[in-house]
Amino acid sequence: MSSLKEEVIQDLVRILEERISGMIITNKTDVNWLRNLEFRKGISYVEQDLNVSSGRRLRAFASLFIVNVKDSKLLTRGLDGKAVYLPDIEEYTFEEFMYSVQEGSQPKLYSLLANLPYSSPVSKGGDFELHLAYQDLAYEICEDVNEACEYFDNPDLYYPGVDEGIEPVSQEFIDRVIPSLQRELDRELRRDYKNNSDFLRPAVPLAKLPPHIQRALVERRRFRFSQFGIGRKQWDRQYLSIWEIPEDKEYVPRRWLRMC
Amino acid sequence: MPTETTTPTITPVQPKTNPNEQPWTEIYTQPIEICPQQVRELASPDVEP
């Protein structure tokens, strides 16, 4: 691919530094990010349901650059509103951009993406959250929690855990994870839309799940982290690297497969 | 005269006698309904993976 202009690189570095520091982690940003998350496979943009674009590492990589795309050439926008546009070249994809950075074309970008904070700073009124680039990981954990809750309709629910590839989870660990999940579920309730009521439906009581499902859920959580290259090593050092996420080119989050 | 309130009342929807008649999704807020930021908090990065 053609080289990016120096001024484009400088803008991207600046914006990446903002995102990595967590300075723009706000609800409004998240909504825009989700609503407008789009991959462009070329300058001649063809609208597609970007949410099912594949690639575990690529999705994480691109998520740091794409914000509120309304212009087919807009790449990203910083806190100051200054826009960064794709260079005007014939063929350009995020995949090529990622490989270019990965192979050393942009050392500073590479370094920034290799040193993401494990969790973003606390947003106002909230708790620590997984870094923005790992939204897909968060959604996978959410899907697992939701699937476990099918137990409340089906006491015979088949909900397997993870036997291989992860360290076994202890009961002490389960007793810490379940309340931490519950803490977040308790914070955000939804109305009883079916009955057109203002009553808020309470959070699912995870503690009422039977022990074997709680264990399986916690195992799955550990497994999902490992699928994104996160384990004890990353936890101990408290930073993450995009480059440690497996490429997994065919990967599409279950959430989007379910919704499409 | 009824008193107006702008504060929503948090009242769990009471399940029917036979819980199978009312799906859990109508009783509880589904985890998949929460917002993207909340989902990242759900991952609980303050607890090791």
| DSSP result, A140-197 | HHHHHHHHHGGGGT-TT-------SSSPPPPHHHHHHHHHHHHHHHTT--EE-TTTT-
Provide the mean pLDDT of chain A: 76
Pairing of strands A239-240, A116-117: antiparallel
**Which of B9, B20, B26, B29 to mutate against chain A (most A CBs within 10 Å)?**
B29
Residues from chain B contacting residue A226 (CB–CB below 8 Å): 49
Question: Are B12 and A143 within 8 A, CB to CB?
Answer: no
Higher per-residue confidence, A6 vs A88: A6
Compute the count of residue pairs across chains A and B with CB atoms less than 8 Å apart.
152
ipTM for this model: 0.78
Chain B: residue nearest A205 by CA?
Answer: B28
Is it the case that residue A36 has pLDDT exceeding 70? no
Question: CB B43 to CB A190 under 8 A?
Answer: no
Give the pLDDT band of residue A138 (cuts 50, 70, 90). Answer: very high
- The pLDDT of residue A135 is 86
**Yes or no, beta carbons of A128 and B27 under 8 Å apart:** no
b vs e for A136-160, b when ≥16 Cβ sit within 10 Å of the residue's Cβ? bbbbbbbbbbbbbbebbeeeebebe
Q: Which of A124, A141, A254, A139 is nearest to B47 (CA)?
A: A141
User: A166 to chain B: which residues are within 8 Å by CB?
Assistant: none
Q: Per-residue pLDDT for A156 more than 50? A: yes
Contacts 24+ apart (CB under 8 A), A58-61: A58/A94, A58/A95, A58/A98, A58/A247, A58/A249, A59/A136, A59/A251, A59/A253, A60/A133, A60/A134, A60/A136, A60/A228, A60/A242, A60/A245, A61/A94, A61/A98, A61/A113, A61/A133, A61/A242
Whole-number pLDDT of residue A107: 84
- Whether residue A38 is predicted with pLDDT greater than 70 in this model: the reply is no
Residue-level pLDDT at A101: 85
Closest Cα in chain B to A129 = B41
β-strands A83-85, A74-77 pairing: antiparallel
Taking the whole predicted model, whether its pTM rises above 0.95 is answered as: no
- Does residue A108 have a pLDDT over 60? yes
Nearest CA in chain B to A196: B26
* pLDDT of A232 strictly over 60: yes
**Residue that wins the pLDDT comparison between A178 and B7:** A178
Q: What share of chain A in percent tops pLDDT 70?
A: 64
Tokens 């992860």 found at: A166
Mean pLDDT of A19-37: 38
Average pLDDT over residues A114-125: 70
- pLDDT of amino acid A3: 56
Q: Which two tokens stand for residue A205?
A: 């009581």
**Closest-CA distance of chain A to residue B35, Å:** 8
Asked if A184 and B34 come within 8 Å (Cβ–Cβ), the reply is yes
- A248/A98: higher pLDDT: A248
**B→A interface, C-beta within 8 Å:** 8-13, 19-20, 23-24, 26-49
CA angle B29, A220, B31 (to 5 degrees): 10
CA distance A120 to A29: 14
A199 vs B10: CB contact, 8 Å cut-off?
yes
Which of A81-109 are b and which e, b meaning 16 or more Cβ less than 10 Å from the residue's Cβ?
Answer: eebbebeeeeebbbbebbebbbeeebeeb
Q: Which member of A139, A145, A198 has the closest CB to residue B8?
A: A198
Element housing A74 (H / E): strand A74-77
In the DSSP assignment, the letter for residue B43 is T
User: What's the Cα-to-Cα distance from A177 to each of A40, A128, A174, B44, rounded to whole Å?
Assistant: 38, 14, 5, 8
Contact A37, A50 (CB under 8 A): yes
Say which of A119, A185, A226 has its CB closest to residue B46. A119
pLDDT above 70: residue A215: yes
For residues A197-204, average pLDDT: 86
Q: Cβ contact (<8 Å) for A222 and B9?
A: no
Instruction: Identify the segments of chain B with pLDDT beneath 50.
Output: 1-5, 15-19
Question: What one-character DSSP code corresponds to residue A201?
Answer: E
Name the pLDDT band for A189 (thresholds 50, 70, 90).
Answer: confident
pLDDT at position A151: 97
> Which tokens in the block code for residue A240?
């993450």
Å between A236 CA and nearest CA of chain B = 9
A238-253 b/e (C-beta count within 10 Å ≥ 16 → b): eebbbeebeeeeebbb
Rounded Cα gap, residues A232 and A219, in angstroms: 14
Helices (H) and strands (E) in chain B, counts: 2, 0
Span A153-180, mean pLDDT?
Answer: 96
A201 to B13: CB separation less than 8 angstroms, yes or no: yes
- What is the pLDDT at residue A49? 32
Q: Are A191 and A19 in contact (CB under 8 A)?
A: no
- Summary mean pLDDT of chain B: 73
How far does A210 lie from chain B, in Å, by closest CA? 16
